[in-house]
Amino acid sequence: MAKKKQKTIEKPPVRIDSTLQLAWGLTLNFSHEPTQQKVGASYLQDFQNLKQQFKDDKKSLDYLDNLSSVLTAYLRTSGFERDIYVSYLNMYRDIRDARVKNINDLADLASFSSGSFLIRLAAFLGFGSLADVIGTITNYSRPSAGLPFNLNVVLLGGLLGIGLIVVVAKLTRGFWIARAENECYTRLLEFWSAEARPGFRRELENLAERLKVLVNEYYPSYTEKVLTDKTELGSLLDAILPYADLYKITWR
């Protein structure tokens, strides 16, 4: 008795797991980097070429048309969220850059070049030469006219105090810059792991649900593990998205 021929199960033009990966790849079009935009545009063109490949298959063309709508909605939502996330991430970087600039500016005050802050301040206070300084120290007990103390000594002490502060700042500049960088990456990690990455994952999960509805409508007999097994879907999304500890590169 002849074997009954098994019916071939129809399948969509693009696998569902591949569609999810393509959707994430298409977000490259939102990048400000020209090279990434170029790669994203090539993915978009590859998707458009599918319609030409299935031009004689009406069901596949209808599926691809509807898939375009689904991907458009996903990209619009994820693109909007991405702008918000990037704004927050850039805010932390701007704070870091401002702190590093302030540290460098303070440390640069310790320069002993002819145009530096310390030299100009010394000249303004009347300590234009080493002889002036020695003379002031030698005569520290002689009070200034009308005062119970020597005003020059007080001014010299203030100058030395300022000098000490900026010299210490110069010597410890590396430590404070590293600390600023460390705090920045700590904040970036917290925001990425708690907000940005879960948001991107949530949108991909929503996309998977919409793809499930679309596949059931056009190819009801077709299935994939990512459509029926949440663990399998979760593993795929973890492989697609940058890992949770992306910014865990802090200095200790």
CA atoms within 13 A on the CB side of 206: 13
Domain boundaries along the sequence of the chain: 16-107+190-240, 111-173
Contacts of 186 (CB under 8 A, 6+ apart): 247, 250
Query: What backbone torsions phi and psi does residue 246 show, to the nearest 5 degrees?
Result: -55, -40
pLDDT band, very low/low/confident/very high, at 51 (cuts 50, 70, 90): confident
Report the alpha-carbon distance of residue 182 to residue 252 in Å, rounded.
8
Token code pair at residue 236:
């795929």
What pLDDT is attached to residue 153?
58
What pLDDT is attached to residue 47?
82
pLDDT band, very low/low/confident/very high, at 7 (cuts 50, 70, 90): low
Contacts of 29 (CB under 8 A, 6+ apart): 37, 40, 41, 44, 75
Report helix, strand or coil for 194.
Answer: helix
Average pLDDT (96-101) is 86
Which residue type occupies 123?
A: A
Mean pLDDT of the chain: 78
Token code pair at residue 148:
């119970």
**178, 182, 184, 190 alpha-carbon torsion, rounded to 10°:** 180
**Cα dihedral sign, 212-217-218-219:** positive
Of the segments 35-44, 76-85, 205-214, which one has the largest average pLDDT value?
205-214
Please report the beta strands in the chain, taking only residues with DSSP state E, as ranges in sequence order: none
Report helix, strand or coil for 137.
Answer: helix
Report the alpha-carbon distance of residue 8 to residue 96 in Å, rounded.
60
Contacts of 74 (CB under 8 A, 6+ apart): 23, 203, 204, 206, 207, 210
- Reported as type and span, the H/E element at residue 249 is none
pLDDT over 70, % of the chain: 69
Burial-class residue 26 by CB neighbours within 10 Å (0-12, 13-18, 19+).
buried
Q: Give tens-digit pLDDT for 131-153.
A: 455 455 555 545 544 455 455 55
Q: With contact defined as beta carbons under 8 Å apart, do 199 and 207 qualify?
A: no
Closest of 8, 18, 9 to residue 67, by C-alpha: 18
Average pLDDT (90-100) is 87
